[in-house]
Amino acid sequence: YARAEAANPMRAPKALHEMRRAASSSPEPGFPAVVFDTYLRFFQQVVAFRRGHPVLRSRTHLSHTDYVGSGFPDMSWHGTEAWKPDWSESSRALAFMLCGEHAKNGTQRDNHVYVAMNTYWDSLWFHPPQLPPGMNWHIAINTAMPSPEDIWEIGHEPQLGDQTSIMLGSRSTVVLVGR
């Protein structure tokens, strides 16, 4: 019972506030309240991002096929170059794109979502797939940036300046939305 109660998401906000209060009132050095607030804001925005994008909440397995005629598969793999994933043991970069036309098995429209992950110890250039005419990539999440520029509220994401490439900092993840 205790484990199920601790995992209850309805209890999470109360537990988080209790942790923040303990962090800010403790005379001993530990997890500073300002750092806690930064992480809390980031993860609240991640949850909002997931809730705001139905393409991230499919009840079926992705098939890597274009079953709605969008010109893109529901899910596609990429490396630092679009459409060229590097599956070798030495690779330290991987990306994928979820086509928003396939949200909820094609019953809803959503933004395209591109996730690029750089686990290399140096920065790497990534080249996301070209979007259909009239659509642009926007930066939703960039873990290499300091708060509050690490994550943006849905609808307020800045447009990617160069639509053909983005540099990922060392050991970072970037999430782009195409709309």
Q: What is the pLDDT of residues 124-142, one digit of tens each?
A: 999 999 999 999 999 999 9
Average pLDDT of the chain, as a whole number: 88
CA distance 152 to 125: 21
H or E stretch covering 139 = strand 137-142
**SS3 of residue 23 by DSSP:** helix
Model pLDDT for residues 55-112, shown as the tens digit of each residue? 999 888 899 999 999 999 999 999 999 999 999 999 999 999 999 999 998 888 999 9
Question: Please, which pLDDT band fits residue 11 given cuts at 50, 70 and 90?
Answer: low
